[in-house]
A and B are shown apart, each in its own frame.
Chain A
Amino acid sequence: MLALLDAWFVAPFDYGFMQRALVAGLALSLAAPPLGVFLMLRGMSLIGDAMSHAILPGVALGFLFAGFSLPMMSLGGILSGLLVAVLAGSVSQMTGHREDSAMASFFLISLAAGVMMVSLGGSSVDLTHVLFGSILAVDSTALLLIAGIATLIVLALAVIFRALVVECLDPLFLRGQGVRGGLVHGVFLGLVVLNLTAGFQTLGTLMAVGLMMLPATTARFWSNRLEGLMVIAIGVALVASAGGLLLSYHLSLPSGPAIILLAGMAYVASALFGRQHSLSARFRRRAAPLNPSGPAS
């Protein structure tokens, strides 16, 4: 029995590439879900997706100039992601265009520009790598970069936490206090870009969003409290990362999709059986007897 457990859960991590992949996955799992929780609570769940497309042209440019150099590609990704966020924000402020439509327009332009650049400069194999990543190919430099960015995100989020919470509930209160809500919002979007850039090497630009959003949406079925949401989301991400890696090792599956699909399974299971808002919770509530001393109306 022990031998079986060892063979399944411990032995795979004797390999250096699996160790690095695990550490990278765990680092991302600490940084990404809290951002996802805030995106979800602000009704911006799809913005992460938009931003992931926005980093593509920068990654492609980095690739064109420096070949397969992770620091250059990451730098390019961060710059183009921030540029798109700032452009979308400014266009929406200056024209009165809604931010989500401005964001949609810019990310579509970025996506097309990015794919065009990758195609002009490399083969379709490179494009696949940028879009879908490969956590098993994480080297020490990449690992340092990922861990560094994850640490920065956690620290920055701690610094802006109170402002972010207050701004989510009542942006005008913060403005009334002389804090520029746009600043908090901007820093937050910057962290989302950073996180996606850290994630693209391991999961690809498209699926890096998965580790951010799926744990958050899963957590919504289990907790009504902010701290609860964060802890559960991080837990789901940690399990999905480690579990996905093991599955990909044993069953020869691509690692990125294995991780995200595992998180996706947690989401579907929670939607069915979660404590709050889930299908079964609705059924339970409908079947519960009338309670005269129930919650105040």
Chain B
Amino acid sequence: MARLKLHDLQLARGGQTVLEHLDGRFQDGAVTALIGANGAGKSTLISAIMGMLTPVAGRVECAVPRERCAWLPQQLALDLTFPMSVEELIMSGTWPSHGAFKGYCGPHYRRGREIMARLGISHLAHRQLGELSGGQRQRALLGRTLMQEAELLLLDEPFANVDIETVEVLMEVLRDMAREGATLIVVLHDMEQLARLADDVLLLAGGHGRWVSPEALLEHHTGQATRAPRLPFDFPEDSHAGTA
């Protein structure tokens, strides 16, 4: 099953085509890694999937309700000087059910506390976001998407500027979410993380996308375990996984 499909998608930024003829489906209950060099169109594709960028041609077919789609942006995109506590951030994930007006009640706070415990940030509940480390903030942001009960989750380099322990916690939670049926799309640069997390890979290079299996990709890059391959990608045609 795939609730998210791309149909001959063409995307542009500032009048310049970034990606074209992009087809394929993102499997439900799986983690798809989105890889490519800087400027290859990863963020552009994410914007299009989130409905924030209108395609020049083709379309994104998304059967997940809009309020269950979550985007974990790079931390730089957030105003972290804004005074908000970890608990408040996580509770804002109740937006799909509570909107702007409905008050939070006991069960929701309990759920918030469970999420914080799962992410190992219970002791930080009343800390301000600005006082946290990169890793702690990333856990809090993922907590918001858990509160949101996201069924489609897009993550833009979730492991950047994050400590090893946090990487482990985040990976575990992401794998759990996939097991529970969510569709996850993760922008990654690190091949080791890709090996551990991804079920499928969408590779963006030269304005095109190619679907490959993580195994084939890693096999081709034995000996370069920690860095993404140089792009344009020199991956041979015969090992194309072809999930498109």
Q: Which residues of A contact B (CB under 8 A)?
A: 41-43, 159-160, 162-163, 165-166, 168-170, 172-179, 223-226, 229, 295-297
What distance in Å separates the Cβ of B49 from its nearest Cβ neighbour in chain A?
11
Interface residues as binary, B73-87 with A (CB distance below 8 Å gives 1, 0 otherwise): 100011101111100
Please give, as numbers and ranges, the residues of chain B lying within 8 Å of A170 by CB-CB distance: 73, 77-79
Q: In the complex, how many angstroms separate the beta carbon of A38 from the nearest chain B beta carbon? A: 10
Docked-complex contact A169 and B66, CB < 8 angstroms: no
Contact B131 A295 (CB under 8 A): yes
Question: CA separation between A175 and B53, bound complex, in Å?
Answer: 12
Knowing A172-B77, A177-B95, the reply to whether A224 touches B69 (Cβ < 8 A) is no
Q: Is the CB of B79 within 8 A of A178?
A: no
Q: Is A159 in contact with B131, judged by CB distance below 8 angstroms? A: no
Q: Is the CB of A166 within 8 A of B92?
A: yes
Residues of B within 8 A of A159 (CB): 100-101
Q: How many residues of B contact A (CB 8 A)?
A: 31
Q: What secondary structure prevails in chain B residues at the interface with A?
A: mixed
Interface residues of B (CB under 8 A from A): 50, 52, 66-67, 69-71, 73, 77-79, 81-85, 88-89, 92, 95-96, 100-101, 128-133, 136, 144
Cβ of A109 to closest chain B Cβ, rounded Å: 29
Beta-carbon contact of A169 and B82 below 8 Å: yes
List the A side residues contacting B101 at CB < 8 Å.
159, 162
Q: A296 to B136, Cβ gap below 8 A?
A: yes
Partner of A177, one of B81, B96, B128, B129: B96
30 contacts between A and B (CB under 8 A): A41-B81, A42-B79, A160-B100, A163-B100, A165-B82, A165-B84, A165-B88, A166-B92, A168-B82, A169-B92, A170-B73, A170-B78, A172-B50, A172-B52, A172-B71, A173-B71, A173-B144, A175-B52, A176-B52, A176-B66, A176-B69, A177-B95, A177-B96, A178-B66, A179-B100, A224-B128, A225-B83, A226-B84, A296-B132, A296-B136
Residues of A close to B89: CB separation below 8 A:
169
Q: Decide: B82 and A41 in contact? CB cutoff 8 A.
A: yes
- Min CB distance A5 to B, Å, is 38
Which A residue's beta carbon lies closest to that of B70?
A176
Closest CB-CB distance, A270 to chain B, in whole Å? Answer: 16
A296 to chain B, nearest CB (A): 6
Q: Which residues of A contact B100 (CB under 8 A)?
A: 159-160, 162-163, 179
Which chain B residue lies CB-closest to A162? B100
Nearest first, the 7 A-B pairs at minimum CB distance are A163-B100, A169-B82, A226-B83, A162-B100, A177-B95, A178-B66, A166-B92
CB of A177 within 8 A of CB of B67, answer yes
A163-B100, A295-B131, A296-B132 given. 11 additional CB < 8 A pairs?
A: A41-B81, A43-B79, A166-B92, A168-B82, A169-B129, A170-B77, A177-B66, A177-B96, A224-B130, A225-B128, A297-B133
- Judge whether A224 and B83 touch: CB under 8 Å: yes
Closest to B66 in A: A178
What separation, in Å, do the CA atoms of A165 and B131 have in the docked complex?
18
With a cutoff of 8 Å between Cβ atoms, the chain A residues found around residue B52 in the complex are 172, 175-176
A residues less than 8 Å from B66 (CB atoms): 176-178
CA distance A296 to B121 in the complex (A): 12
Identify A229's interface contact among B73, B83, B131, CB under 8 A: B83
Write out the residue numbers on chain B whose beta carbons fall within 8 Å of the beta carbon of A297: 133
Q: Please give me the residue from chain B that is nearest to A164 by CB atom.
A: B100
CA distance A160 to B67 in the complex (A): 19
A175 to B51, CA, bound (A): 9
Q: Whole-angstrom distance between the alpha carbons of A225 and B83 in the complex?
A: 5
When distances are taken between beta carbons in the complex, the residues of chain A under 8 Å from B70 are 176
The answer on a CB contact under 8 Å between B84 and A176 is no
| Residue in chain A with minimal CB distance to B141 | A170
Which residue on B lies nearest to A43, using beta carbons?
Answer: B79
